[in-house]
Chain A
Amino acid sequence: MFELLGIPPQALFGQLLLGLINGSFYAMLSLGLAIIFGLLNIINFTHGAQYMLGAFVAYLLLQYLGVGYWGALLLAPIIVGAFGIVLERLMISKLYHLDHLYGLLLTFGLALILQGLLRNEFGISGLPYNIPSQLSGGQNLGFMFLPNYRGWVVVASVIVCFGTWFMIEKTRLGAYLRAGTENPTLVGAFGINVPRMITLTYGFGVALAAFAGVLAAPIYSVNPNMGAELIIVVFAVVVIGGMGSILGAILTGFGLGIVEGLTRVFYPEGSSVVIFVIMAIVLLVKPAGLFGRTA
């Protein structure tokens, strides 16, 4: 039988597809991080916790208000995004004139608080959240059985990521945003409320994380630590892509998902470290990341 590196090609296709699915989450999360870093210069360590909040809000909406998956997909990002806006106004906005380090430490602290509070309230075992009935079941692709829901994750992620990219790079609103980060005084002089724009941008970045959280809820268990380990990996993804580069974050997210997927086949133990190895190499060779502008 024809084999590639000891793995039947069907199995390899399957693994590539799974890598792409995981990459969808990396892409969405790193996109939010990149936007926040690009426009606010804040390294948002709370991102993982906000992703987790998205999943929890979806769970709570279902438990207490009977709002199902589709409603949650819309509402949870808005709720968590609004929460992000409050955080930005109350705390993060106080740090813009300081070194990156402080933003990182503040949001790190916020992440600890959020995770701790939810852990006290809901424990750690994880809460069940079912796949919506419209997306249960799956397709037999010949080389693997693809659950419909995972297919949906890839589709949703691609739409959201490239939609966001288009908005920022190709529309007038995006142009204001980019200009506002380059020269806030000048943009302000044109009559645009720059602080509000920045606040809304943070809210949007957080909402992206929450959206990813809702997408993740049915396939990973909803638990307070679901974002804690992930955030470190997503950081690496953003750095590899080039801090602040929108397209870089998206492409690297999908790409590294696939690389990690392949590692799971050839050297499964190493799949948790491969991204960091890549990050070290990229930073040593190309300091500004794969898609970053050289500083």
Chain B
Amino acid sequence: MAGETRVAKAITPKSLSYAQGMPRHHLALFAAFLTIAVLAPFFLYPVFVMKVLCFALFACAFNLLLGFGGLLSFGHAAYFGSASYIAAHSAKVWGLTPELSILAGTVVAAFLGLIFGYLSIRRQGIYFAMVTLAFAQMVYFFALQAEFTGGEDGIQAVPRGELFGFISLEADRAIYWLVLAIVFFGILFLYRIVHSPFGQVLKAIRENEPRAVSLGYQVNRYKLATFVISATFAGLAGGTKALVFQLASLTDVHWAMSGEVVLMTLLGGMGTIFGPIVGATVIITMQNYLATFGAWVTIIQGVIFVIGVLAFREGIIGVLSRKIKKPL
């Protein structure tokens, strides 16, 4: 089976047809994810778990584009970060409720994704990566210069506000459930897209673009739609993150953030469903617990990159998936 060599290829239409619904082991894994996520805040520091969740969604959104669309964007921080700024600004200055703030951020990210995606999908491979990087650098520049973003101070002390105007989210354990809901349904939605007819066409394009064209598919439309969906969910993650940390800052739009999400996806296993979640968890945990060691965090991240590329190109989940011979 193809699934034994290349992870992404493993998801053959037959074994995973959209008509059949979710295969049992995926259902089990989603249930496990949900169970762990529900229990986690009682054992771990909730803000930390929320950070993991937000980045898991960000990485899953990125993975849709890279793992299933075959497009490496080196500028996804633009969507994550701009949504973060817009959500923070809406909540703090305009006093919008949290769900509307996040929505506002997401809409802006989707809109940016539409413009930048429209312009960049015509390019391929490294050129695509470079165009997306260029646009992201422009967004970074805008964030640095614009008044409302507060320069390097960022937008601080963002109120978490009250959900629908009456459920206070100020406590960590209160906002946690909102974050979990957003992330869980976000990931589920991305999963549905991958396993829809749309997702099948996407994979066909990735594997053999000329053939997809000859079959009559409007390849660029599919790519653009994927790009916009990816940007939108990256934005959803960014907007949510802004409310969790009550802060939007330049870190969110910097190119290093774009690199980080590549790292998470690669480490977990690109083109897998659960890989980005695992990758995000590992990276965030590492950053959190190694914070004391200063430059060692950078060094260890570098080592992960190197080992990942040389020995584990399939990523953690990719290797697991090969071992159990099932797509994960």
Contact = CB atoms under 8 A, between A and B. Distances in A.
Interface of A: 43, 91, 94-95, 98-102, 104-106, 108-117, 119-120, 232, 235-236, 239, 243, 269-270, 272-273, 276-277, 279-280, 283-284, 287
Interface stretch (B128-136, B163-171, B190-198): B128-136
B126 A280 contact: no
B127 A287 contact: yes
B131 A280 contact: yes
B302 A276 contact: no
Contacts of A104: 126, 129
Contact of A273 (B137, B298, B301): B137
Given A105-B266, A113-B306, A117-B299, A276 B126 contact: no
Interface of B: 72, 119, 122-123, 125-127, 129-131, 133-135, 137-138, 140-141, 145, 255, 259, 262, 266, 294-299, 301-306, 308-310, 313
Contact of A272 (B122, B129, B134, B141): B141
Given A105-B266, A280-B135, A95 B309 contact: yes
B298 A243 contact: no
A109 B262 CA distance: 12
Given A111-B302, A113-B303, A119-B295, A279 B309 contact: no
B305 A106 contact: yes
A111 B306 CA distance: 10
Contacts of A109: 301-306, 308-309
A177 to B, nearest CB: 21
A236 B299 contact: no
A81 B52 CA distance: 40
B134 A277 contact: yes
A106 B302 CA distance: 8
A112 B299 contact: yes
B138 A280 contact: yes
B138 A236 contact: no
A283 B304 contact: no
Contacts of B131: 279-280, 283-284
A213 B31 CA distance: 54
Contacts of B129: 104
A63 B266 CA distance: 41
Nearest to A281: B134
A105 B305 contact: yes
A153 B132 CA distance: 33
B230 to A, nearest CB: 16
B299 A116 contact: yes
Contact of B119 (A111, A112, A284): A284
Given A116-B295, A232-B255, A287-B123, A273 B304 contact: no
A117 B296 CA distance: 8
Contacts of A272: 141
A44 B310 CA distance: 15
A279 B313 contact: no
A232 to B, nearest CB: 6
A106 B134 contact: no
